[in-house]
Structure 1
């Protein structure tokens, strides 16, 4: 698989079943990377995921040969004082699609989408997820803070690295 064999497109309600599958896989395999929990979302029906796809956030999917192999969301803040900011959320790439450009294609597509409506994109990456940190740094994100004990899972704390990318003047 190469990056050029990956198609990126916005997910719609018609993609709800495959989105639910990859989202639950992400929550199950990487619980420290997400604010939500597998136990919370796994009890939700496909219709709940369909509503989420038709909601405020744009969820992009990376497809290889028709299979959904990665996802990322872009949320734009509400209100006149915050609508210049967007947030990348829910980033996950299946193991088989890692290290071949799927993640980078998703981030680039999300940034292209963000550039149409916001000036600044923020994200959170769990401290210790070095591959994700390198990906975001290579895309131009810079660290601006650290939230200690952001999540607690089974008695263990996880810190979140706060990152941002300024899109003003982006080509």
Structure 2
């Protein structure tokens, strides 16, 4: 049985990851891809090698937050605003993952709250997609003001299993 009390919330530091954090980002991303293939993945990661590293460097040049407990990266969450001027009122949260030892301790909540605090100054609404079977993640998003506005059916297929994504939104009051 895994203990969720291994890392106290007060011991968790949240900071923006940078390109110099590539190795620790690759490590946590590999864990996310392995343990939750229905949730994580990109064409660059499927290709691997230089394409994957280039994609990670690009992501790390933007806004990806890391949660550190006892000096180790235990959670990540990313945010971006589309480059399309017509869509710059919308932000997007992506690649949210918390390692098992950080779950149940508010690490996910802290990452989302920090991203939302940064987003509120830049956009009017924040969107995300979450696999419909990720009940803990959905609860976290709802606690932070997100609501489901649609379902994208059969987004991912792994073997014979198909997975839907819930589309969620949080609007900032202005």
Instruction: Please report the TM-score for the alignment, with normalisation by the length of structure 1.
Output: 0.90
After TM superposition, the structure 1 stretch with the greater mean CA deviation from structure 2, 103-112 or 28-37, is: 28-37
Q: How many residues are matched?
A: 167
Q: Which residue of 2 aligns with 1:13?
A: 19
**Structure 2, unpaired ranges of 5+:** 1-6
Deviations 1:63-95 (A, max 9, x none): 112100000100111222100100100000000
Q: Which residue of 1 aligns with 2:42?
A: 36
Measured in 2, the distance between the counterparts of 1:45 and 1:68 equals 23
Kept in 1: contact 2:81–2:92 (CA 8 A): yes
Picking from 99, 105, 113, the partner of 1:108 is: 113
Instruction: Please report the TM-score for the alignment, with normalisation by the length of structure 2.
Output: 0.89
3-state SS of paired residue (1:33): coil
**Structure 1, unpaired ranges of 5+:** none
3-state SS of paired residue (1:118): coil
Q: Which residue of 2 aligns with 1:130?
A: 135
Measured in 1, the distance between the counterparts of 2:125 and 2:132 equals 22
Kept in 1: contact 2:45–2:51 (CA 8 A): no
Greater helix fraction, Structure 1 or Structure 2: 2
